[in-house]
Amino acid sequence: MKRRQLVLLLGGGSAAAASAGTGAFSSVSADREVSVNVVEDEKAYLGIEGHPDDEGGLQIKNQFAGALSLDLTATVVGPDGEYEAEVETERDDGEIEIEVEIESDDGGGSGFERVDIGLGQRAVVNVDFEGSESVDLELSFSGTVADGGATVDKTRKYTVSGGDDEDGEGAVGGSSEVASDVTMVKFFGSGDKVRILTTENSGGGGGTTGVVDAKLYCEVNDSVTSNDEFESVHVNTDLYPDAFDESLTGDIVGVEIAEFDGVFVAPENGGGRVEPSETETEPFWN
């Protein structure tokens, strides 16, 4: 099983967060008692977007204007009372690694760790679980920005499957197949990423969460290649080529979703939204 990594973005301006609308996350506050709802958008104070570079957990980035003191609490909420989560932090050459280990324990229990993340700095959260079943892991993030008065508060749940991949480690992420809920594919002018959306807007906020089986088509020197097998990828999040296959490179020109006839082909200018009714059964590279 291929494990995914997500990026947890902390920061952004209050104007951007407020204008983006309401969302499913908890809360964030700033100076002058500004309070806004949090959305799944990279411009908000607190959001989540996909990240392809690793297969092991979460990546936290401080996007506030100052250093962030962040509290992370990990709790196994299902099955109730059967597992305990422990949290530890390691620093190596400026890299911050937060390890969440899930073990069997009668009565359960939560793990807690406080970590200081500098301006623009990232921290990786790895989840280690070698059980034979799946568990529901709840991660709570709360913190305060130094010298700015801004605070964040977020709770997120993940399904962690048992050790059924090659390295014996679990996989983090939801597994519901939601291809029938796809409303559009958003291509970016940069050509380096794409979003498969179940929302009525292109921001990725709200909508049905889950995964779809998809292929990505990339062009290099007028030659188009794709991943050989359909890959399970998350919706409503930024997807880069190596989320589909580590060998894929080049500009993204199309997305094929298993339950759709045809390919979502990127607009000629590279950026834009393509709806299911606009898929092409004979894309230009065939």
How many whole angstroms separate alpha carbon 144 and alpha carbon 28?
A: 10
Tens-digit pLDDT profile for residues 22-40: 223 333 333 333 333 333 3
Within 8 A by CB and 6+ apart from 106, the residues are 81, 82
Share of the chain above pLDDT 90, in %: 26
Q: Is the pLDDT of residue 224 over 90?
A: yes
pLDDT, tens digit, 9 for 90 and up, residues 99-120: 888 888 777 789 999 989 888 7
Q: Say which DSSP state 14 is in.
A: H
- How would DSSP label each residue in 100-127? EEEEE-TT-BEEEEEEEE-TT-EEEEEE
CB atoms within 10 A of CB 43: 17
Burial 171-201 (b: 16+ CB within 10 A, else e): bbbeeeebbebbbbbbbeeebebbbbbbbeb
220 pLDDT exceeds 70?
A: yes
CB 111 within 8 A of CB 137: no
Q: What is the pTM of this model?
A: 0.48
Dump the DSSP string for 122-145.
EEEEEEE---SS-EEEEEEEEEEE
Tens-place pLDDT, residues 236-271: 888 899 889 989 999 999 999 999 999 999 998 878
- Domain ranges for the chain, please list them: 5-160, 179-278
Specify the DSSP class assigned to residue 163. S
Helix (H, G, I), strand (E, B) or coil at 91: strand
> Could you tell me which residues come within 8 angstroms of residue 143 by beta carbon, excluding any fewer than 6 positions away?
10, 68, 69, 70, 71, 151, 152
Q: In what order do the strands lie in the sheet containing 272-274? A: 238-239, 194-197, 184-187, 272-274
pLDDT in tens, 51-104: 323 344 567 777 777 888 889 999 988 777 788 889 988 887 777 888 888 888
